């Protein structure tokens, strides 16, 4: 028996540390996280039935319009998140569980009753004028961000080997936030129809879709991605990533963004600042989002370099392609420029990513699927 080479040892260590290739098993009767998750989903479903059930029949056109429009709204979001899920490629079942937690449990089991109670407290303490300007921002960032993040904690309990890095927190947090956002948007459509006494329900759905859809670009998916990344830095499930100060400040940043978005009227004082404030807040949020994403991806990029390192030694990949598949946008751009072909560069990068996933799935062993991915990459590079 011979010891693995340095590159092979690094590859095996990367697979072990990252958890890549591990399957996601949802049904775990002996796991407390499984039952808490089901309790949240069950409680949220019951709350939804009660909320929409009383007059749901009369407002069916509004509800149907909201579900259809925001269902279509999901498509570009899922494509965007798939693009950013290039390193980890978390299992679809895990991401769907996060989405369901955000939309059903976090929104209806936690946020709806908790927000109602806390809003009443702010009104009693500060009066109706104070509550109108500040209560939403003092309520939602606390109840909703922690309610959504509880889903990430439960998913760590269900898949401890899969959810390891800050980047995992970013991607799963985005899915949890997206679920919350879409279900909340449908609730707003319903509330809008109720407030207009059922007049022009389809028009109300479309109007709410345009307003909430545009605002949603810098809303819950963004808040949760940033908050859950910070939570992963605090938890430090990958020892080298543990940074409590950075994690706490990142979580607070997400809560401040949520506060600013909910309390723009109070911040602007109702003056002309209100016209430019949404754009200014959105610009800051997106800048911070990409900075957090870039920092969170460091560990994933290091893992994929170590995972594919032995393939460079055997010339399946060249160093430039390794830089592109494990690097940033500028690395992929440099690779495209080097090949003088955007299409060939894209296919080669995707092929290298497929090879990395097959190697991880095989636990570093040689299998038919690994060899097939390797031969496909050679064909794409020829």
Tell which wins on pLDDT, 3 or 309: 309
Distance CA 209, CA 248 (A): 34
Q: What is the mean pLDDT of residues 106-115?
A: 95
Interacting residues of 377 by C-beta distance below 8 A, sequence separation 6+? 316, 317, 348, 351, 352, 354, 355
- pLDDT, residue 255, reads 96
Residues in the chain: 382
Report the mean per-residue pLDDT for the chain.
90
Task: Look up the pTM and report it.
Answer: 0.91
**Phi and psi at residue 377, in whole multiples of 5°?**
-65, -40
Q: Is 1's pLDDT higher than 60? A: no
pLDDT digits (tens, 9 = 90+) for 54-99: 666 778 888 888 888 888 888 888 888 877 776 767 889 999 999 9
- pLDDT, residue 88, reads 65
Q: What is the mean pLDDT of residues 299-322?
A: 90
DSSP symbol at 132: I
Going by pLDDT thresholds of 50, 70 and 90, the confidence category of residue 12 is very high
Q: What is the mean pLDDT of residues 174-203?
A: 88
Q: What is the mean pLDDT of residues 115-129?
A: 90
Distance CA 201, CA 215 (A): 21
- Min mean pLDDT across 168-172, 179-183, 195-199 is at 195-199
Do 189 and 209 contact (CB within 8 A), yes or no? yes
Of 4-18, 240-254, 330-344, which has the strongest mean pLDDT? 240-254
- Contacts by 36-40, CB closer than 8 A, 24 or more apart: 36/154, 37/97, 37/101, 37/105, 37/151, 37/154, 37/158, 40/101, 40/104, 40/105, 40/106, 40/109, 40/110, 40/150, 40/151, 40/154
Buried b / exposed e over 60-98, threshold 16 CB at 10 Å, is: ebbbebbbebbeebeeebeeebeeebbbbbbbeebbebb
pLDDT digits (tens, 9 = 90+) for 211-257: 888 887 889 999 999 999 999 999 998 888 999 999 999 999 999 99
């Amino acid at each position: 028996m011979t010891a693995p080479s340095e590159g092979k040892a690094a590859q095996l260590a990367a697979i072990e540390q990252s958890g890549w290739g591990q399957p996601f098993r949802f049904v775990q009767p002996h796991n407390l996280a499984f039952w808490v998750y089901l309790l949240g989903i069950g409680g949220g479903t019951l709350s939804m039935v009660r909320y929409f059930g009383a007059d749901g029949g009369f407002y069916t056109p509004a509800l149907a319009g909201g579900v259809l429009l925001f269902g279509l709204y999901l498509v570009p979001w899922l494509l965007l998140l798939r693009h950013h899920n290039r390193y980890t490629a978390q299992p679809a079942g895990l991401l769907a569980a996060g989405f369901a937690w955000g939309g059903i449990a976090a929104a209806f089991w936690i946020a709806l009753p908790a927000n109602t109670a806390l809003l009443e407290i702010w009104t009693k303490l500060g009066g109706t004028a104070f509550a109108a300007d500040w209560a939403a921002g003092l309520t939602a960032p606390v109840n909703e961000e922690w309610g959504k993040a509880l889903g990430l904690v439960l998913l760590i309990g269900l898949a401890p080997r899969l959810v390891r890095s800050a980047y995992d927190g970013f991607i799963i947090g985005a899915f949890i936030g997206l679920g919350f956002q879409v279900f909340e948007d449908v609730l707003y459509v319903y509330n809008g129809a109720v407030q207009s006494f059922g007049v022009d329900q389809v028009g109300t759905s479309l109007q709410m879709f345009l307003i909430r859809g545009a605002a949603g670009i810098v809303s819950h998916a963004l808040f949760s991605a940033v908050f859950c990344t910070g939570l992963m830095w605090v938890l430090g499930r990958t020892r080298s990533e543990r940074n409590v100060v950075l994690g706490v400040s990142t979580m607070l940043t997400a809560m401040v963004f949520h506060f600013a978005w909910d309390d723009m009227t109070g911040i602007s004082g109702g003056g002309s600042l209100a016209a430019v404030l949404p754009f200014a807040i959105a610009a800051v949020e997106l800048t911070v989002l990409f900075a957090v994403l870039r920092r969170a991806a460091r560990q994933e990029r290091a893992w994929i370099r170590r995972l594919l390192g032995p393939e460079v030694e055997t010339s399946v990949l060249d160093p430039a392609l390794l830089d592109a598949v494990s690097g940033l946008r500028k690395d992929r751009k440099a690779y495209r420029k080097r090949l003088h072909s955007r299409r060939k560069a894209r296919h080669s990068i995707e092929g290298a990513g497929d090879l990395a996933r097959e190697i991880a799935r095989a636990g570093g062993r040689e299998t038919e699927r690994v060899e097939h991915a390797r031969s496909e990459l050679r064909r794409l590079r020829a």
